[in-house]
Structure 1
Amino acid sequence: MSADNPGAYEPDLARSLSGLGGHLAEVVRSAEALAAVKEAVEIFGRYTAVQPSVLPLLLAMRNWQAVLLDALGRADEAGVVRRWIDDNQAPA
C-alpha cells in the first residue's frame, strides 16, 4: 500500500519518529533522539508545504529539536532552530 502513495503515510511516520525521539531522550540517548526528531522535522516540513494545517506539529517538532540540541551542548544550533520557530509562527 505505501508503495502506491508513500506521502499518505509520512505524517504517521513523522509522529512515530517523534515518539521514538521522546523514548530515546527518556533513556538519555539524546543523539539518537535528535536523529529521529530531525527526520520527523523533515517529513513535517514537506507535508506542511501541501497541508498548512500541519504547521503546529512542525513547530512542536522544531521546538523538540532545539531542546535536544541544547541537551547535547549545541546551543548555537538550538538558537538557529528557535529563530526559525519565531519566524514561522502562524498568525494569531
Structure 2
Amino acid sequence: MSDADQTDQQGQADHTGETLGGPRPDPSTTASKDPEDWVTGDEPMTGPQRSYLDTLAREAGEELPADLTKAEASEHIDRLQQQTGRGTDSAS
C-alpha cells in the first residue's frame, strides 16, 4: 500500500505533505493537455464541473446542455471564466 493510500484508525486518509489553496500556477508556464486529448475527456462531466459551470453560465446569462463531457465542460469553463472575469488573477 502506498503512503497516499494509508488511513488512520478512524479511516481518514493521511494527507501529510499535501496542500490546498496557495497561489495558482501561471497558465503561460504550466504544461497542460488540451481537453480534446484527455483520456477521460469523453466521460460525463464531474459534479464539481457541473456546479461551477452552472454558476458561470448563470452569471454569463447562458444556458448549456446538462449532458456535457469532461472535456466539453472544461472548455466551457475556460471560456466563461474569461467572459465573466472569474478565475482570473485580479490581484495584480
Question: What range is the shorter-chain TM-score in?
Answer: under 0.3
Larger Rg: 2
TM-score by length of 2: 0.25
Structure with more of its chain in helix, by fraction: 1
TM-score w.r.t. the length of structure 1 is 0.25
